[in-house]
Every structure is written in C-alpha cells, then in structure tokens.
Structure 1
Amino acid sequence: MAKVAAGFIIFRRFTGVIEFLLLQSSNGEHHWTPPKGHTDPGETDLQAAYRETNEEAGLVKSDFKVFENEKFTLNYDVKGKPKTVHYWLAELTDNNACIKLSNEHQDYKWLPVQEACNQAKYKDMVDLLNKCQMIINEKYA
C-alpha cells in the first residue's frame, strides 16, 4: 500500500511576477519541493496539507487561500516503495506572513516558474509547476 502525503503548491504575486514556494530538505539529496507531509491516521488529506504546511513553513490557514477545485496527485516510488502525494493550488494572501522552517528543511525560496522547475528537477514536479502556472494565468491572473 502506498504511503500518502499532502501539501500545497503555494504561489504569491511579487512585483507582478508569480513565484512559487519551494523548501529544501535537510537530509538526503537536499531536494526542493513544496511543503508536504504524510497524512496521519484519522486525518483527511486536506487537513494533513494544512498541518504540514504549518509545521514545515510556519504558514497558517489565514496566510493563504486554497483553490480546493485545483487538486493534483503525483504517484512515484521512494526507496522502492510507492508514494502518493496530493497537492492543492494555494495563493499567499498575507504578504506579511513569514516562512519559519522546521528542522526538516534548511532553506526556502520564492521562485518564478522556470527557476522553480530548475530547482525541483524531478519531471513530475516540473510538469506540475508548469501546469499550475498555466492554471494561474488562465483562471487567477
């Protein structure tokens, strides 16, 4: 059975540019991803996404708006075991919100889509970031 995780693809509008939030892992290959984490027993995927975003980035529910109709699922293997990650598109609405990293991450960046894709590296995340940029341009510009 696949491990399940959930998180948000969070973007902000900064000087007319859409930027995505990526966190750099403190361990392993120090990869860059949006905030996400495993779903706890009895928790919905959306509840897990809110909890993990708060734990990993210090953002609370009132800091951003979630587009619940914009949900995406990635399936991949981690160390030979299947993993499913559910993401929702979300926009930072509190420009005074500060990112506060947990010990799981060592750095964060707000990046335009192309730079975010360069940092993310994995094809499925690159495709998802590009898809989110397209949706933002078409529906939320």
Structure 2
Amino acid sequence: MVFSVPLTNSSGSRNLKEQMNNQRPVQSKVKNLKKTKPKAKTDSRRAFTPKTRNSRDSNLKKLQQKILKKKPTIKEIVREPTSGGIVFRLTKDKKDIEVLLIQDSKNRWTIPKGHIEPGETAKQTAIREIGEEAGLNHIQVLSWLGKIHFKYRRIDKLVLMTTQIYLVRSLDTTERPTKEKWMNGIKWFSFQDAINVIEYEDIEKLMLIAKKRIRQGEY
C-alpha cells in the first residue's frame, strides 16, 4: 500500500511566510561602542619649553619698575625740634578775633613755624619765625599752648618733628603781613574760618584751646 503525504497548499505557504515576516528581530543586548581616539602623548620637551624672549623682556621690565617704585630702606632716624605760634589780633571794634595763617607751596594752610636754631629757646624761635614768615614784628607771646608731633620720610631718613606752639598776639592791628617767596599765600581769617581751613588736626585742637583762653582772658 502506498501512502501519499499531503502537500500544503499555496495559501498555507503564504500564511507561514507572513508569520515569519511579522516576527520582530531580536535586538542584541550588546550596545554599540563608540570608537575613541587614543590620547596624544604629552611631549615632555614641549611641556617645559622656556618662554619666548618677548615674554622674558616684559617680565624683566615689570620687575625693574617694581624695584624703582619701592621706597628705600630707612637708614637713619632724625629728630627735628621746631617752634611756632598761633597769631591772633582783635578787630578794630574789638568784637571779633582774627587768626593769621600762611599757605605753603603745596597749598596747605598752617601757622608760622620753623626749626629751632642752636642756642635758641623754643619761645625765641617762635618770635623769629613769625617775623621772618609773616613780617610781623610787634607781637607778644602770651602763653605756651602745647606741642605736636609729625613724622615724614626724607629719602632714606625718617624725620620725627616736634613743634612747640605758643599763643601770640599781634599788637599792631594796622601792620600788614608779608609772605616769603616760597609761600603761596598769607591771610587773616576769622577764628571759625581758620579752624575750617587749617590742614593739620593737631593744630586745630590747639586753636580751639587758644580761642577759649582768649575769650576768657586766661593767657
């Protein structure tokens, strides 16, 4: 007996192909890796290449400028004793007080003062300096007000200045002050204006003491 195997029809074949085509492909779990370029090796010779000549010259110039701007080291301390006076006068009607100030070469208003010469007392220096710097010769030293301290540099020297200050009255109200060549000005001020324009705070404090003494007549 001969058995025959039935063959699938064409429609069945098409169904099988369609099923196979409809199946989704299985994705690989291995991700695509990006290709990376190998890092370039650092050339040690280039890493320590000296700077260009222009850069070296620029740094040298900056160093020279820094050295020039640097203040010289203080090699000596110098003490300078000086003396001066707060000079005042009464107005013609004797109702107001005026104070004499001089203006130095840097436009700073201050009082007449100067160095104490060898053999001079501080009081004698005050009289002499007022005569030289203000041209006032008819004056009277009434009392000592106090002393103030300044310090400044003179190249490689530190100068410590001590100024003795006296209360001085101008006896001749008509006497006109005359300034020296190095001054920018000389002027009588009202007491309040003098306090407002005076350059140095320590002198201002002594001016307030002077004003109180004059008002109270306690010379």
Q: Same fold (TM over 0.5)?
A: yes
| Deviation at residue 44 of structure 1 after TM alignment | 1.4
5+ residue gaps in structure 1?
none
CA–CA distance in 2 between the matches of 1:84 and 1:134? Answer: 24
1:74 aligned residue (133, 140, 148): 148
Q: Deviations over 1:82-132 (max 9, x none)?
A: 111111101111122121111131211211222111111321111111111
SS in 2 for 1:5: strand
TM-score using structure 1 length: 0.87
Q: Which residue in the other structure is 1:99 paired with?
A: 177
CA–CA distance in 2 between the matches of 1:17 and 1:140? Answer: 17
2:165 aligned residue (82, 87, 107): 87
Q: Which residue in the other structure is 1:131 paired with?
A: 209
SS in 2 for 1:30: coil
1 or 2, which has the higher strand percentage?
Answer: 1
| Deviation at residue 47 of structure 1 after TM alignment | 1.5
Q: Deviations over 1:6-49 (max 9, x none)?
A: 11111011141111100001x2x321111111111222111211
2:102 aligned residue (23, 33, 44): 23
Aligned CA RMSD, in angstroms, stands at 1.8
Aligned length: 136
Q: Does 1:65 align with 2:143?
A: no
SS in 2 for 1:6: strand
Larger-Rg structure: 2
Q: Which residue in the other structure is 1:35 paired with?
A: 112
Percentage identity across paired residues of the two chains: 30
| Deviation at residue 140 of structure 1 after TM alignment | 5.2
- Asked if 2 retains the 8 angstrom alpha-carbon contact of 1:113 and 1:130, the reply is no
